[in-house]
Structure 1
Amino acid sequence: MARGRLRIYLGAAPGVGKTYSMLAEGQRRRSRGTDVVIGVVEPHGRRLTAAMAEGLEVVPRRTCDYREARFTEMHLDAVLARHPQVALVDELAHTNVPGCRNAKRWQDVEELLDAGIDVVTTLNIQHLESLNDVVRQITGVPQQETLPDSVARAAEQVELVDMTPEALRRRMVHGNVYPPDRIEAALTHYFRPGNLTALRELALLWLADRVEEGLQQYRAEHGIGTGWETRERILVALSGGPEGETLIRRAARVAERTRGAHLLAVHVLPCDGLAERNYVALAAQRALVESLGGRYCQIVGSDVARAVIEFARAENTTQIVLGTSRRAWPMSALSGEGVGARVTRLSGPIDVHIVTHEHAAGPPKLRLPRADGRAGVRRHLAGAALAVLTLAGLTLAGLHGRYTLSSILLCYLLAVVAVAATAGFSLAMATALAGALCAGYLFAPPPPSMGVTGAADLVALIAFVTVAILVSWAIDTTGRQARRAARASAEANALSALAGAAWGRPNVAAQLEQTRQLFGLRAVSLLYRQPGGGSGQRWQVLASAGDRPPEQPGEADTSVSAGPALTLAGRGRVLSDSDQRVLVACAAHIAIGRERQQLAAHAADADQRIVADRTQTVALLATQRELRAPLQQLQETLARLAAPESSGAEQRHELAAVGQASLARLAAVITDLHHLGQARAGALDIHLRPVELDAILPAVLDDLGPGGHDIVVDAPEDLPDVIADANLLTRAVTTLAANALERSPNGTPATMTVTAQPEHLTITIVDHGGRRPVPAVAGRPAAGATGETIDLDPARSLPVCTARALIEAIGGAAQCRATPGGGLTVTATLPRTARP
């Protein structure tokens, strides 16, 4: 049985018309005689969607009971038994109720497809698994129902149901998407124009990639090797040389001239991995490509030109940008056809741009081999001494033993091999030429002369020189590659350690110590060039490692740039060119670590600001709730005082008492606001010292007045001192206790418990009441009797916010949690002294 085909109507957001389009497709197929049934459709009360479903056969749903509730799901077995040609299944990413055969609806659809039934379904872009994090970042809403991308990519047809954000919002306003009570909330949260635009872009980009996959698959199935210019793709080939940035910018300008063009960059690594590469330059070029909106790729190939062409064809590239050769004429002529010429010859219909640059080959220059640092000088001196001693010793031994020409040439060849392994190719070649001259002069008949008469002796001398040069070149090349591989391994290990330190928990001081140990330096410092005028530059040491680190680049033996206004300076020895290159990479990792440190600090500051803003918002809301009741009481009191019937002295006295209580409440709110503002602004006059809690608790009870006798205090006799400000601590505990007393109902008193821990002391204040009622006004019952309340969230009331701010200001911490029965538990934690 052939597997069924899947067709998906994809939308950027709910309400764009996916279900309507699916039902319209079902109606068209039914009109053509196709057997179509509705497996499941969710119209969500939309009148036009329900009307489009009329006339289509509906398979009854199955009923599922879960957690004392009843749900309906698609009856998979009934659809399989009905076995239509086409089944319409809405909401592919839907999660089934526990107890169904499959956990997800897309798994039900897979069974229908395996049974040979074609399925037409709907899907929103935010339900794709690969885009879940992106959608959460855009909308702020995590998607609980997700769908593997492989399911959507396996569909034979994916059609985008597109609608502009403005049109979708108009549909919502007209009531065509959500009921009236949900429209305003949806428009101000999920369905904001920016959210809808971003989701629409995600849907278009995902579908464009899906179309690109289909095009590549079609070309592969039909054996089409030539590129189709459906979209301009500019490929720049990078060698890792200094001309790379010029080529990238040139390719970017070419891409900018064509709307929708895509920039690619590729670097080919040799198969053996031993060729020298400037990885620092490649990293900078990669960053440049990505900053210009392009994509950087690194591939491996033995033939650079063919690897570039194969990559270009695989990416459907239309243009290739190359740089002119950096090799001078003799070397380019001897090496034959260059990479640029081969790419041009193999490119076929792909256009190739050869770009000149300032590093292109100039007139040929004679470059003598030079030693690389002190180790190179010592190696060359040792090689020269070895060449002189071996040639002299072998020559004397050959004259004493009357060696023939062939024998002495073999002995000289051993000397050439030893010199090549010790000092390199140049001295080995000089040794071979010197050995050939000595052999021809002293051992060729008739000696001593250079009159080589026999053809065999001439062939032997030529063969000796040729073999000696080839063997020397092979030994020198192998040695250089082995040293390069060992050095690359050491550099990779060092950079890997630094990269791990930079991307883990960054510690610039630890990175500097690693760098100091890696290069054997006495001290390393990261310097910052301070902005400012004047002739001299001012430097600041951001971090350092070692003894007497340099405080400016002039005091260092070696220094490299670590970024804008940053310099990595080392003292102890002068580094070679290769070490300098690795030091540049180390400086880049250290700069990344410092930047991550700064980002972490900024993130912490931002979190603190967010907490402060949230606290301020909570305080303002709490203030609004706190002021509402006393202001209302004052208004009613003044109105009753102005009324003619309030002429009695007793009634006026009662109204005056209510007004005074309201004014006292307003004064308390203003005092709390003043204290909260001082705490948040850091304007409190704080004097931290050991404070005896035995003196604080009686002061709190005295400040509470007569109501203080209603709170139950449980504290041990031998309490340790706490580190705090006595006045602020008394004020904070009094505020919390007063709030607890006000909230506690009659018969259930508030409690205050003091507990001593090894490093801190906790004060826990618990009330068992519900929400605080509005106090009664004369002639009017208390609001608690009618159900009216003030505090919607007791943990966010103004007294609690003020007390928490005061406790945090003196170095403590406060936590709030709900008490069973609707009360509130506040726990204040304070640092304690060691002595009781």
Structure 2
Amino acid sequence: MTSADEGRRRGRLTVYLGAAPGVGKTYAMLDEAHRRLARGTDVVVGLVETHGRAATAAQLDGLEVLPRLALTHRGSDFTELDADAVLRRAPQVAMIDELAHTNVPGTRHAKRWQDVHDLLEAGIDVVTTVNVQHLESLNDDVEAITGIRQRETVPDQVVRDADQIQLVDLPPQALRRRLAHGNVYRAEQVDASLASYFRLGNLTALRELALLWLADRVDDALTDYRRDHRIETPWPARERVVVAVTGGPEGDTLLRRGARIAQRAAGSELLAVHVLATDGLPSAPPGRIAEQRALVESLGGTFHTVVGEDVATAVVDFATGVNATMIVVGVSRRSRWREALSEGNGTEIARLAGAIDVHLVTHEKARSGRPRLSRRSPLSPSRRIAGWVLGIVGPVLLTWVLSLLRDSVSLPTELLLFLALTVLVALVGGLWPAVVSAVAGFLLLNWFFTAPTGRLTVDRPENALALAVFVLVAAGVASVVDLAARRTGEAFRARAEASALASVSRAVLSGDDSASALVERLRETFTLRAVSLLERSGASWTVLASSGPDPAVRPEDGQAVLTVDDERVLALCGRVLPASDRRVLEAFASQVGAVLAQNRLRAQAEQARVLEQADTTRTALLAAVSHDLRTPLATIRASVDALTGLSLGPEDRAALVDALGESTGRLERLIDNLLDLSRLQTGSVRPVLRDASLDEVVPLAVEGYPGDVVRLDVPETLPLVRTDPGLLERVVANLVQNAVRYGPPVVVSASDSPGGIEVRVQDTGPGLDDEQKERMFEPFQRLGDTSADTGLGLGLAVADGLATAVGAEVHAEDTPGGGLTMVVLVPRAGAGA
């Protein structure tokens, strides 16, 4: 490649997307050609189909139109885009109509979009047209709407990758008027078109399909723009409904309500999020979470799991990250008096949501008073504040109450009451508020209730001992309660971590074990901005997998770096994670390392299997070739020597020429089979599937056989098949050649069956037993009576491999009355398209 080629830019693709035939996309494309020509741009028309429309044909005036490529196929003349002529002309812009068109055999490519790809790679800008019904992903929808299966389609990604897409649309009533006035089809076609394809309902549905498909493409562009400009606040460009589920019984109600909300606007998305809380909340039963995951997937949504210290904050962070427009949350199950003490998750989500709408849904379990653990950790700031207040005010209030009952309460009872207060403070606020409460209680007991009162002195040793024991017991109990609270919080966090790791394990067991999937799960679970898996490549780093906007390309770009192995690291971008998350992060890193090692071992095992198979094939090939190729070569050599060195009569010369031709043909077949087997084993067979008729394929496979040797029975009324005609012809030819050697006459027939179209090659030879049928498709198998066989035993192996490549199946059946019947099952046109 020259330096000029390396520096040449790729051409820009502009697509005029039509909502239906006749909306004017070709006219709009040519109108743009005139505008560009007026600006001094070098514009040519590579191919335009006017379909007899006068207004479209008039648009060609003043434009340079390149000659078309003339071709003949099956006795008919065709014209196609001459891509080579466009490349030689090398304009700045080429106008090429009907991007989804299938070319006639003999052109540069099978599809016109492939020709356009070559022009773009050559640096030529292309303006083209396509109707929405020709997009591959919408083929089934269009057939369901119109009842017509589109034979010509273009991959969606080809159109999605266009630099610019212009929607050409008309209201259904206006398009029907254009059709009625004869501006789309000839007069004799108008009535039938209006009554079938161009019905008002059909056109409305096609118009909606076009708008929704284009909205998806625009949404991708919006996501890219927000990422490139680091815009983190949600833009309500389309409805994204996030449903917060806890695993409780109200989850099904919330999910169904969210699905109904999402269905109100076409193109909406439904996302369910479950927070693995580390704040002391009880975890939901795994079975309930699995049921709700299945429910949201059945409703067309996706299920997500995140880890968060605070449920409300985690839900809002997730909704902001996915650019959600609404959060659906259920009314709290806590009783009213509990809600009076602290706001529920729904209220806090509404406070934190900002521009995101919050939809609060009531349900039968709302405010049912079901016991739940506190939403806050025992050592949270709010609990600490309450503990300090109780630790300071509580002893004073208790002293006041006991002073009123001085005559009826003894010192031991007073000590027990102050000890109970200290335990209560420890339960509420932890260790230090309880210690303060114990010290305050000691001082108050000494001052008000221990003789002599009014002074911080004790005149009786037993009272001094009681006060000392009180302080020690109060401090010990407070310490134990505080430790228990901390251990409880750690236990809840450990359970959340275990749930996160179990989620990763489930993903690996279900087959979603790619490094990209684990990186995405790591970013989602810890609500990070981006995560990258980097591999050391000399002095630089290579990104193996990444997730999120602006991923790190070097370890220095991340806020945290986790080591996977000696050559790979995980770079985390976004918020700074607490040290307590380190253990889970390291487990994720270990899981990523295990996945990479597993994939590497799997690839090595596959490579070893291929090498072993190739070595076995090579050994068998050398053993067979040493004899089977030498025999026809020896015959050819002897025949040539005799013809050139001896004086022979006409009959002898004719016999030698026949022997020479027969040996040459045998040698050619052997070499063809060897080459086909090599192509199959190296994976270089690239079928080009298209709709074809068997009456144009099968007759070519039996050419050269007399009618008394091979009889052909292929009805012309059979449905079309989806195949590569050239490769299917080779399959049938190999089967016929094999059958002729073992049991002529051979009957080749075709018929329709529930599974597809069957091509049957029936001989009357010795047949095969069940054991031989199991290994008949392996290379170098000579089965049956091989006394006159000079082949390598490759014909059936090649036929089976080529059939698999084109999506067909080959199996053997016994011929009634004796012999073998090879059956080729070919898929119908449109099956699985």
TM-score tier after normalising by the smaller chain length: 0.3 to 0.5
Q: Which has the larger radius of gyration?
A: 1
Q: Normalised by the size of structure 2, how large is the TM-score? A: 0.45
